[in-house]
Chains A and B, each alone.
Chain A
Amino acid sequence: MTDEMTLSDISFNEEGYMTNPDEWSRDVARELARANDIELTDKHFEVLEFLRKATMDGEKLSIRRIGKSGIVDIKGFYALFPGAPLKLASKLAGIPKPASYV
C-alpha cells in the first residue's frame, strides 16, 4: 500500500483527526505515524487499540487513565508518542480529539 492509496481515501477534519473511525486500519495508522517520524511497534498498537476500545465504550480518555491501563506507564506513553502524546495517539487511533484536563 502506498501513502497516497492509504491516506487519500480517508477523511480528516481541519485539525487532522479522522472523522470516521471505521476508516481506520493498522496500515492507515502506520502511514500517519510515518508522517510524524514514528515507526509503530506492537506496544504502540496495544495503546492505539486500547484508545479505540475505550472510545467506543464511551469512556473519557486521559493520560491518567492510560497510565492506569496496565499497558504503559505515563513516562512510557510520552516516549511512545513524543510531543503531545494524547493528541498524537488519538490521531493515529482514528478517534476524535480528546477533551481532557489530565
Chain B
Amino acid sequence: MEATAFKKDVQTKHHKVEKVLIIVSKGTIEDVYAGLVMANGAVMEGIEAKMFFTFFGLNAIRKGKQDKLHTATVGNPAMMEHVPTMIAGLPGMEALASAMMKKEMDKMDIPPVSEFFDMIVAGGGEIYACQLAAEMFHLEEDDLIDDVKGIITVGDMYALADGPNTQIIFI
C-alpha cells in the first residue's frame, strides 16, 4: 500500500521548466519567428532562454539580412493552397508573400526580427552562432549582429543547456 503511494508521488512530481535552449537551423520568416516567439515567451515567464543559430538560421543574425528574410512560396502547400506551383515560382511572388506576412505580423504588434532580438536580450536571453556553420558560410563576428554573444561549438552549446530542468527545442 505504501509502495503504491510512493510511486504515485514520483509520477506526479512537478518539475517546472527553468531553461530553454532553442536551436534555429532554418532561415525562413516562419521558422525564425517560431524561435523568437518561443525565446521571448520564455524570458517573459522568467524562464532562462538561450538561442543557437546554425546553417540557414544564421541569416537571422546576419547584419543587413535579418530583416529581409523570406518565406518559401514553392514547396509550401499549406501557404499556397490554391496557387499552382508554376505560378508560385514566378519572379516577385516570394517577395510579395513575405511582405504580406510581415504586414500581418506588424498588425499583431509582433516586432521586426532585429527588434525582437533586442527584446529577448533585454530580458536576459542569450544569442549564439554555430562555429561550424559560420565557417562554412565564411562568416565572422563582424558579419553578425551585436546581440550575438559568441560563435561556439556544439559542445559549448550543450553546456548552455546544463541543468536538470532544461528543454532543448530544435527548429
A and B: interacting chains: yes
Q: A: which residues have CB within 8 A of B?
A: 60, 62-65, 67, 73-75, 78, 82-87, 100-102
Residues of A close to B46: CB separation below 8 A: 82-84
Contact in complex: B45, A65 (CB < 8 Å): no
- Give the distance in Å from the alpha carbon of A100 to the alpha carbon of B40 in the complex: 11
Contact A102 B119 (CB under 8 A): yes
Nearest chain B residue, comparing its CB with the CB of A101: B37
**Other CB < 8 Å A-B pairs besides A78-B122, A102-B37, A102-B116, 13 of them?**
A60-B109, A64-B119, A65-B109, A67-B122, A73-B122, A84-B44, A87-B45, A100-B44, A101-B41, A101-B108, A101-B110, A102-B109, A102-B119
Q: How far is the CA of A60 from the CA of B110 in the complex (A)?
A: 12
Range of interface residues on chain B? 10 to 19
Which residue of A is nearest B118, CB measured?
A: A74
Contacts across chains A and B counted by CB atoms under 8 Å: 47
| A78/B111 in contact, CB under 8 A | no
Whether the pair B122, A102 counts as a contact (CB closer than 8 A) is: no
The 10 closest A-B pairs by CB, nearest first: A83-B46, A74-B122, A75-B122, A84-B46, A84-B45, A78-B123, A62-B109, A74-B119, A64-B111, A86-B44
* Chain B residue with Cβ nearest A76: B122
CA distance A78 to B115 in the complex (A): 16
User: Does chain A have a CB within 8 A of B150?
Assistant: no
In the bound assembly, the distance between CA atoms of A85 and B123 in angstroms comes to 9
Interface residues of B in 93-139 (CB under 8 A from A): 108-111, 115-116, 118-119, 122-124
Chain A residue contacts of B44, Cβ below 8 A: 63, 84-87, 100
Q: How far is the CA of A85 from the CA of B42 in the complex (A)?
A: 12
**A74 & B123 in contact (Cβ 8 Å cutoff):** yes
The chain B residue sitting closest to A75, CB to CB, is: B122
Query: What would 25 A/B residue contacts be, using CB atoms closer than 8 Å?
Result: A63-B44, A64-B115, A65-B109, A67-B122, A73-B122, A74-B118, A75-B123, A78-B122, A78-B123, A78-B124, A82-B46, A84-B44, A84-B45, A84-B46, A86-B44, A87-B44, A87-B45, A101-B41, A101-B108, A101-B109, A102-B37, A102-B40, A102-B110, A102-B111, A102-B119
Q: Give Cα A82–Cα B44 distance, bound, in whole angstroms.
A: 10
Residue of B nearest to A78 (CB): B123
